[in-house]
Amino acid sequence: MARYGMLIDASKCVGCFACRVACQMQNSLDVHESFIHYEEIESGSFPIVRNEHIPIACMHCEDAPCQAVCPTAATYTNADGVVLVDHSRCIGCKYCMTACPYQARVQNKATGVAEKCRFCVFTGGGGNNGSGSGSGSGSEPKPACVDTCITGARIFGDLDDPASDVAKAIIKTNAKPIAGDLTKVKVFYVR
């Protein structure tokens, strides 16, 4: 089985929010709901100032705190390492929202379900399943956020396949988890 993950190159992110809009459309989210939020970091001093946009969503942790606290086992990890939510089991208690150190869980106002990024597994992947930024073989689907990124800041694929684009890019760029060793994540960042 694959162990899906992503690399986000924040040095390429221009803060256009295309990934967020694509995610909202792919997952039929309300305009006020989003699985992706942004941290903006300003550094330097006038006249040399740098503004960094860092998109943050579910990190698909191998040791997912949200899964550990779920009283109904609605949050689970599938065989490919993607952390998902069983809507029929979620009681909307928000324990997972509190436990997530990345603030990546959002409650669907209509259903009460505590939702999150699912790497587009639920909907079968992004617009062009299997071509482009996935593995070298191009066999896996891509999330909508990867398909729509205008700067190519996102790479998705099998972390365990050394020939995949994502595995190669993590090594080449020395990508790191956004919060160090807080949790064992499957999303890595270049900053």
Show the 3-state SS of the chain.
Answer: CCCEEEEEECCCCCCCCHHHHHHHHHCCCCCCCCCCEEEEEEEEECCEEEEEEEEECCCCCCCCHHHHHCCCCCEEECCCCCEEECCCCCCCCCHHHHHCCCCCCEECCCCCCEECCCCCCCCCCCCCCCCCCCCCCCCCCCCHHHHHCCCCCEEEEECCCCCCHHHHHHHHHCCECCCCCCCCCCEEEEC
Mean pLDDT of 154-169: 96
Say what the pLDDT of residue 159 is. 96
Choosing among 3.30.559.10, 3.30.70.20, 3.30.300.30, 4.10.640.10, the CATH entry for 4-60+118-190 is 3.30.70.20
The string of pLDDT tens digits covering residues 87-142 is 999 999 999 999 999 999 999 988 999 999 999 985 554 443 333 333 344 456 78
The string of pLDDT tens digits covering residues 27-53 is 999 888 999 999 999 999 999 998 899
Domain spans of the chain, in order of start: 4-60+118-190
**Lowest mean pLDDT across 28-32, 71-75, 180-184:** 28-32
